[in-house]
Amino acid sequence: VDQTIRAFAALPPGTPARLTILGDGPCREELEALSRRLGQHERIVFTGAVADVTPYLREADIYVSTSMSEGMSNALLEAMSHAVIPVVSRVSGVADVVEEGVAGLVFPPGDESGLARRLEESLVMTREHRRATGEAAQAAVRRFSLDRVAECHLSLYRRLIESRP
């Protein structure tokens, strides 16, 4: 999250954006202090723990994940299901769901300047480009619905059973 805050602060002055950080934890005070030190305290909102992320996803244009290991997280899939454009680190599993430049934007894990570039790129998209990217993200995540995954598993099991001697 600190990487996200620093990358957000690196956006060009006057960029019309707000960063909303959902959740709570032992680092919250430190992250809020970082936000203040970088002069971003008026543009970054810390919500604390939330029971339902749906209202936030309905308002969001971009979902950001700087994870070093968690690629296909439930949070990513949920954001994409709401047609929110993912800007995520290229870790295991991301390539399976986020087609670079089509259904979202990726950057190398730990690359803060790469994240800042991707944030800026996502924020200057035209309304049409943003809508198309969000729709592509939404379509991509449908492959991972519970019904679809269950059907794929059942199909695999049927093939394995039928191929037994």
The more confident residue out of 141 and 33 is 33
Query: Is residue 151 over pLDDT 80?
Result: yes
Cβ neighbours of residue 93 under 8 Å, at least 6 residues apart?
A: 70, 71, 72
Predicted TM-score of the model (pTM): 0.86
The total of other beta-carbon atoms located within 10 Å of residue 132's CB is 15
Q: Is the pLDDT of residue 125 over 80?
A: yes
DSSP 23-66: B--TTHHHHHHHHHHTT-TTTEEEEE--S--HHHHHH-SEEEE-
Model pLDDT for residues 41-73, shown as the tens digit of each residue:
999 999 999 999 999 999 999 999 999 988 788
How much is the pLDDT for 121? 96
Q: 90 with 132: CB under 8 angstroms? A: no
φ, ψ at 63 (rounded to 5°): -110, 130
